[in-house]
Amino acid sequence: MSAFCSEIFVNFSFSDKRLVMEKTGRNDPCPCGSGRKYKKCCMKNDGTAGVDFKRLYLQKYRIRLKSQKDIDGIAQAGRLAMETLDLVESRLTIGVSTEEINTIVHEFTISRGAVPGPLNYRGYPKSVCTSVNEVICHGIPGPYLLRDGDIVNVDVTPILNGYYADASKTFFIGTPGRDAEKIVRVAAETLARGISKVKPGNTLGDIGHAIQRHAEGQGCSVVREFVGHGVGVDFHEPPQVLHYGRKGEGIMLVPGMVFTIEPMINLGAKDLQILDDDWTVVTRDGSLSAQFEQTLLVTEEGCRSLTPFDPLAGL
């Protein structure tokens, strides 16, 4: 039989494939039907050699694996995103309005020849999301003046030469209280733990599991209704990246995937409410919520952040 080892697996889900491979003994006949021992056949190459993942992932999941040109473009947009967040951070103090954050982001983005992705996206009226205290995400900039002890997430998505990069950080205004310090630290730690699972052969479920386990272990909760996402050529591409889940479940990570991890972590319960503006998402119990987001590339070696920063810096 001349079946190429990996062919038999491509119609399986990857968790099925893992199961087959884990159950096959080294000296058993190879499940690909080659007639050789498993250890002399598919065990050697993990069953993925020769698979056209670009085609398979597009057909099966609508996931667009990125070319080197795409990656370079997204990385450039990512550098701009990080410069934008650094600029915002340098201007944040007590008394600054969220509208002023919008002006800073909008003007800086335009000055670099880029376009703010949020502006007019599905009717969103501003160029950045500014989510204060109990706001989970999609806070709309306005007249609100930041106060001592507030936390504010600033989420930017520049489009540069047609490429999107998506990143956010939560900042302290003045002196944080204990609750603020805790939720921002836990949110940052969950992003770091999620990123640590990004490597070929791991699954999206591995990422979600690591995030959920840490957040809940710290007595916090994970928002379910908003998730990470593929990004790069569009703002929101497949797949959805859940911030909760089970080890080994979900789509297998392969080189060329670009997606965000952006866990929204609440100090109290996970339940949310959307305000009458149809955008602002708040915790139902009024507890604090924090978030950090990066755009990540799966590489042969593991992971490269296209919006690099150390989530734990300064915490």
Which residues bind to Co ion, rule: CB under 5 A? 155, 166, 260, 262, 293
Choose among ligand MF3, Co ion, none what residue 121 binds, the Cβ cut-off being 5 to 8 Å by kind. ligand MF3
Write the interaction track for ligand MF3 spanning residues 288-307; mark x where CB under 6 A is met and - where it is not. Answer: -----x--------------
Cα 211 to Cα 123: distance, rounded to the nearest angstrom: 31
Cα 255 to Cα 303: distance, rounded to the nearest angstrom: 9
- Is 162 exposed, middle or buried, given 0-12, 13-18 or 19+ CB atoms closer than 10 A? exposed
Among the listed residues 94, 93, 91, the one whose alpha carbon sits nearest the alpha carbon of residue 105 = 91
Please report whether residue 189 would count as binding ligand MF3 according to CB under 6 A. no
Nearer to Co ion, 42 or 296 (CB): 296
Please report whether residue 134 would count as binding ligand MF3 according to CB under 6 A. no
Q: Candidates 7-15, 39-47, 118-126, 216-224: pick the segment binding ligand MF3 (CB under 6 A).
A: 118-126
Please report whether residue 232 would count as binding ligand MF3 according to CB under 6 A. no
Closest contact distance (angstroms) between CB of 260 and Co ion is 4
Interface residue with ligand MF3 among 33, 56, 112, 124 (CB under 6 A) is 124
CA 297 and chain centroid, separation: 10
Cα 127 to Cα 154: distance, rounded to the nearest angstrom: 11
Please report whether residue 155 would count as binding ligand MF3 according to CB under 6 A. yes
DSSP states along 268-297: S-S-EEE-TTS--EEETT---EEE-BEEEE
Q: Candidates 78-86, 121-129, 172-180, 247-255: pick the segment binding ligand MF3 (CB under 6 A).
A: 121-129
Choose among Co ion, ligand MF3, none what residue 47 binds, the Cβ cut-off being 5 to 8 Å by kind. none
Nearer to ligand MF3, 76 or 130 (CB): 130
Minimal CB distance to ligand MF3: which residue?
118
Closest contact distance (angstroms) between CB of 124 and ligand MF3 is 3
Interface residue with ligand MF3 among 129, 159, 210, 251 (CB under 6 A) is 129
Interface residue with ligand MF3 among 34, 157, 221, 266 (CB under 6 A) is 157
Q: Candidates 15-23, 44-52, 59-67, 119-127: pick the segment binding ligand MF3 (CB under 6 A).
A: 119-127
Write the interaction track for ligand MF3 spanning residues 257-276; mark x where CB under 6 A is met and - where it is not. Answer: -----x--------------
Please report whether residue 150 would count as binding ligand MF3 according to CB under 6 A. no
Please report whether residue 118 would count as binding ligand MF3 according to CB under 6 A. yes
CA 109 and chain centroid, separation: 22
Please report whether residue 121 would count as binding ligand MF3 according to CB under 6 A. yes
> Which positions lie near ligand MF3, rule CB under 6 A?
118, 121-122, 124, 129, 138, 155, 157, 166, 262, 293
